Amino acid sequence: MRYLTFALAKGRLAKQTLALLEQIGITCEEMKDPDTRKLIFVNEEQKLKFFLSKATDVPTYVEYGAADIGVVGKDTLLEEGRNLYEVLDLGFGKCRMCVCGPASARELLKKNEIIRVASKYPVIAKDYFNHQKNQTVEIIKLNGSVELAPIVGLSEVIVDIVETGGTLKENGLEVLEEICPLSARMVVNQVSLKMENARIRKLLADLNHLINSEKN
C-alpha cells in the first residue's frame, strides 16, 4: 500500500483538521510534539503522511500530486484557481469574503464609478467587480493588514475576509457588500482520486458521516 499524503494549511485550520481526522481514527502522534522542527510526519501503520505548508501553497501541492489530499480555505481555492477536486466542506473556519470600507463609500459602489480596491485577493476582487457587478475598478494587491488601505487613502474600499467583524469595527469600517461565504474545504488531486479511489472514498464517507452527525 502506498502512502496517502495530506497537505494542511499551517495554523488553526491544520489543528482543527487533525482534531476532525482523529475522530475518524486517523492520527499522527509525531505531529503533536510542539517542539518538533520536522516538516513531514508519518503514520507508518496507516500509511499516511502529513505536511504543513503556507495556505496559498496547499492547492499547488495537491494539483501537482505532491499531496493527494489538501485542506485549505475556500478563499485560497478561489484565488489560486488550481485544477483539483473540491470534495468536502469541513464546516469550520467559517467567515465571509466582503467588500468593506467606510460607510461613505457605499454610494461609490452604486454609481458604477472607477474606484480603487485593495485586496490580498486580487483574483476574487476582479472577478466580483468585473463579472458580477460589471464595475470597472483598479485592483491594488496588498499582502496583509488590508484595512489600512481606505484609512490612509490608498483605496476607496477593500475586498477581505470578515470573521467576527472586530477588525473592521475597531477601524471605523463596515461590510458594504457580501461576496461569498467561506469555510475550510477538503481537496483531492484528480489522479489520486482515481488511483486511490477506495481509500479516499472511505475517508470522505467517514468524514461526511461525522460532520452530519455533529450538525444534528
Q: Where along the sequence are the contacts to ligand PRP (CB under 6 A)?
A: 120, 144-147, 160-167
Residue among 13 and 186 whose Cβ is closer to ligand PRP: 13
**Least distance in angstroms from the C-beta of 188 to ligand PRP:** 26
173 vs 207 by CB, closer to ligand PRP = 173
Minimum CB separation from ligand PRP for residue 204, in Å?
Answer: 28
The smaller minimum CB distance to ligand PRP, of residues 118 and 188, is found at 118
Provide, rounded to whole angstroms, the least separation between the CB of residue 167 and ligand PRP. Answer: 3
Classify the C-alpha dihedral 128-126-107-162 as positive or negative.
Answer: positive
Q: Rg (Cα) of the chain, in Å, rounded?
A: 20
Taking the least distance from each CB to ligand PRP, the nearer of 127 and 174 is: 174
Burial annotation 50-64 (CB, 10 A radius, 16+ → b, else e): bbbbebebbbbbbbe
Q: Which residue has the cell 482523529?
A: 22
Distance CA 141, CA 138 (A): 10
Cβ-proximal residue to ligand PRP, closest one: 144
CA distance 50 to 38: 11
**Nearest Cα to 204, choosing from 122, 66, 120, 85?**
85
Min dist. Cβ of residue 75 to ligand PRP (A): 9
In angstroms, the CA 151 to CA 142 distance is 14
- Taking the least distance from each CB to ligand PRP, the nearer of 68 and 147 is 147
- Please report how close the Cβ of residue 117 comes to ligand PRP at its closest, in angstroms: 14
User: Rounded to the nearest whole angstrom, what is the least distance from the CB of residue 156 to ligand PRP in the complex?
Assistant: 18
Give every CB contact of residue 46 below 8 A, 6+ residues apart in sequence: 26, 27
Nearer to ligand PRP by C-beta: 146 or 186? Answer: 146
**How do 40-43 and 115-119 pair as beta strands?**
unpaired
